[in-house]
Chain A
Amino acid sequence: MTTTVDPRPVLEVEGLSLSVPGHDGPVPLLADVGLVVRPGETVGLVGESGSGKSLTIRTALGLTPRRARTAGRVTVDGLDVLSAGRGELRELRRHTAAMVFQDPRASVNGSRTIGAHLVEGLRAGGVDRRQARARAVELLERVGIREPARAMRRHPGEFSGGMLQRVVIAGALSTNPRLLLADEPTTALDVTTQAEVVSLLTSMQAEAGMGMVFVTHDLTLAAAVCDRVVVMYAGRVVEVAAGDELFRSPAHPYTAALLDAHPGLHGPRAALRAVPGRPLALAETPSGCSFRDRCTEADDACAEEVPALRRHGGSDAACLRPGREAWA
């Protein structure tokens, strides 16, 4: 963690809060979210559906929901995204940051060829037609598509999900972005393909020295892939820790509960322990700690105020009594 030089972060989210208008007043979706990604670093963003992880990275590209109100600061490679104009955002999306979505099938226009898709992206980045074609073939080869020149003429429907996700990754990397936002890039793929796509992403990321945010709901995957993992619950960050640290000794009861709910291959066979209750939206959380009514360790003190992130071992956790050893 502590290197002598601290390179300027490619993504810096500070105290980000976001709400959308609802029938009775604004509905909060994110509260005080913080996130730092430096070049060459992979940061995992983990949480259940609706915890705000996708919303956070969309905000990094200026893709906030209609009529959303935001507070805080989001900086991508020096650009203040929340106050950026349309042209600045377009430049940001074309050159600085790229995104890979969950379902590759849905994220390309099915009626055009792969070649047209890649060339279009490159041309928008200011590359001329012939160079764009050559570069597209090269990119396809780099992401492991066989016979890339022929693949250029194929339609998305002719590729398997994993292969198409490789094509999408090629497209995302075509403009040499400084920041790659991967929004559950493997969720729609089968398990063996998942591993291939993940290793492709991480090797490309290391090669290019990009910063990467890896959004997933798979805590084990995040712990294996990421330098740091940020765990979100109900629109708030509840724990930040190095990947292996998080896995070994979770400091927040929610993280621990997530790990306990995951079936393991090793060790004695035990019944899976589901987290009691259901994931809540930020708007319906109780006072104080958002997790307290699902937490087995909560007491009256937890209801008083939202706990701040505090250092505990290798983690920062938003909990009054962090660490398994403190729990009954």
Chain B
Amino acid sequence: MTLTVPALRARRVRRNRRGPVAVVGAAVFLAVVVVAAVAAPLLAPYSPDATSLLDSLLPPGSPGHLLGTDSTGRDVLSRLLYGARLSLLAPLGVVLASTVLGVAVGLVAARGPRWADLLLSRTMDIAFAFPSLLLAMLAVAVFGAGLAAPMVALSIAYTPFVGRVVRSLAVQEGSRAYVESYAVMGFSTTWVTLRHLLPNLAPALAAQAALAFGYALIDLATLSFLGLGVRPPESDWGSMIAQAQPAILQGLPASAIVPGVTVLLTVIAVNLLGEHLGSSVGRTDRERA
């Protein structure tokens, strides 16, 4: 008992380094972003596409335009709120698709026959060699601009990241004695994998998914910035930055900075939450052992 107490305390101190304030802040910020995206029509003071050349390039804080206007006089706040929808939904789709694919690939590699592991693991190694963004651009080149092609391409590109994590976690979890004891009870490998292994991996998967969401958000914003993602009249945060480029040259960067900072804060918040999830996974794992 006396031995474990200092050890416990040391661990707690280490975990609290990324304080709860940051995690709570991140959660609150993300909640606000999600509410903004859902309730954009209610919250936005203007239509996101309403132009007014007389009011173009107003600085943030101007009367009637809280975050200013862009070079065609569109209200930046309204565009930010509406843009949140695609900016969040598209990476969400990528994360869901790559998680489902990655889990399938990882579990088969970890628990299936040896040849399947060889095949899948080597395929993932090769897939790692292609930068995901490059793959997405290639997809755009082949299938044309728009969100669908890069989303599919990114989903495939992220699958090996998820797959490799799932494989190593499943191998580790599969070596626990309880897995053998269920086999002894006459349960098939598939049953034990889906009913016992997968639920036990879920927390780690959630952490992984949060990190992937951040990457996907940046990648998709990058594509939109390059004009390869969202097509006008639709817009997301990436295309807002792209459209603000002429204004930056005129020395009025506000309409680019606002969506840029939003992307940055969202990604940081998602990563903080993901890291927090990951550390609580480690904690429950230690308690179980």
* Stretch of A98-106, A249-257, A272-280, A315-323 at the chain-chain interface: A98-106
* Docked-complex contact B288 and A110, CB < 8 angstroms: yes
Residues of B within 8 A of A49 (CB): none
* Stretch of B39-47, B104-112, B177-185, B257-265 at the chain-chain interface: B177-185
Within 8 Å of chain B (Cβ to Cβ): is A91? yes
Contact with A along B178-205 (1 / 0, CB 8 A): 1011111111100000011001100000
* Chain A binding surface SS class: helix
| Min C-beta distance of B289 to chain A, whole Å | 9
Complex CA gap A107/B180 in Å reads 8
> Interface size bucket, B side?
10 to 19
Complex CA gap A95/B184 in Å reads 11
Complex CA gap A61/B199 in Å reads 27
Q: Do A106 and B178 contact each other (CB < 8 Å), given the known contacts A111-B199, A111-B200, A111-B288?
A: yes
Residues of B within 8 A of A92 (CB): 186
Within 8 Å of chain B (Cβ to Cβ): is A90? yes
Complex CA gap A289/B239 in Å reads 82
Q: Which of B186, B199, B287, B288 contacts A124 (CB 8 A)?
A: B186
Q: Which of B184, B196, B200 contacts A93 (CB 8 A)?
A: B184
Counting residue pairs across A and B whose Cβ atoms lie within 8 Å, the total is: 52
Contact with A along B142-186 (1 / 0, CB 8 A): 000000000000000000000000000000000011101111111
* Docked-complex contact A91 and B186, CB < 8 angstroms: yes
Residue of A nearest to B181 (CB): A107
Complex CA gap A106/B186 in Å reads 17
| Min C-beta distance of B201 to chain A, whole Å | 10
Residues of A within 8 A of B186 (CB): 89-95, 124
* Docked-complex contact A109 and B196, CB < 8 angstroms: yes
* Docked-complex contact B185 and A98, CB < 8 angstroms: yes
Within 8 Å of chain B (Cβ to Cβ): is A161? no
User: Which residues of chain A from 90 to 133 have a CB within 8 Å of any chain B CB?
Assistant: 90-95, 98-99, 101, 103, 106-112, 120-121, 124
Complex CA gap A124/B180 in Å reads 16
* Docked-complex contact B181 and A99, CB < 8 angstroms: yes
| Min C-beta distance of A84 to chain B, whole Å | 12
Residues of A within 8 A of B287 (CB): 157
Contact with A along B133-149 (1 / 0, CB 8 A): 00000000000000000
* Docked-complex contact A63 and B178, CB < 8 angstroms: no
Complex CA gap A98/B186 in Å reads 9
* Docked-complex contact A108 and B184, CB < 8 angstroms: no
* Docked-complex contact A93 and B185, CB < 8 angstroms: yes
Residue of A nearest to B184 (CB): A99
Residue of A nearest to B200 (CB): A111
* Docked-complex contact B288 and A157, CB < 8 angstroms: yes
* Docked-complex contact A121 and B176, CB < 8 angstroms: no
Residue of A nearest to B288 (CB): A110
Residues of A within 8 A of B176 (CB): 106
Complex CA gap A259/B200 in Å reads 45
* Docked-complex contact A107 and B200, CB < 8 angstroms: no
Residue of A nearest to B188 (CB): A90
* Docked-complex contact B187 and A106, CB < 8 angstroms: no
Complex CA gap A99/B180 in Å reads 11
Complex CA gap A226/B131 in Å reads 65
Complex CA gap A249/B282 in Å reads 54
Of B178, B187, B196, chain A has the most CB atoms within 10 Å of the CB of B178
* Docked-complex contact A101 and B177, CB < 8 angstroms: yes
* Docked-complex contact A103 and B288, CB < 8 angstroms: no
* Docked-complex contact B184 and A61, CB < 8 angstroms: yes
Residues of A within 8 A of B177 (CB): 101, 103, 106-107
* Docked-complex contact A63 and B183, CB < 8 angstroms: yes
* Docked-complex contact B288 and A101, CB < 8 angstroms: no
Residues of B within 8 A of A124 (CB): 185-187
| Min C-beta distance of B250 to chain A, whole Å | 58
Residues of A within 8 A of B185 (CB): 93-94, 98, 121, 124, 171
Residues of B within 8 A of A107 (CB): 177-178, 180-181
| Min C-beta distance of B133 to chain A, whole Å | 38
Contact with B along A40-64 (1 / 0, CB 8 A): 0000000000000000000001010
Can you sample 29 A-B contacts with CB below 8 Å? A63-B180, A63-B183, A90-B186, A90-B188, A92-B186, A93-B186, A94-B186, A95-B186, A98-B184, A99-B181, A99-B184, A103-B177, A106-B176, A106-B177, A106-B181, A107-B177, A107-B178, A107-B180, A108-B181, A110-B178, A111-B200, A111-B288, A112-B199, A120-B195, A121-B185, A124-B185, A124-B186, A124-B187, A157-B287
Q: Residues on A close to B: CB < 8 A?
A: 61, 63, 89-95, 98-99, 101, 103, 106-112, 120-121, 124, 157, 171
- 12 further A-B contacts with Cβ under 8 Å, apart from A101-B181, A107-B178, A110-B178, are A61-B184, A93-B183, A98-B184, A103-B177, A107-B180, A108-B178, A111-B199, A112-B196, A121-B185, A124-B185, A124-B186, A171-B185
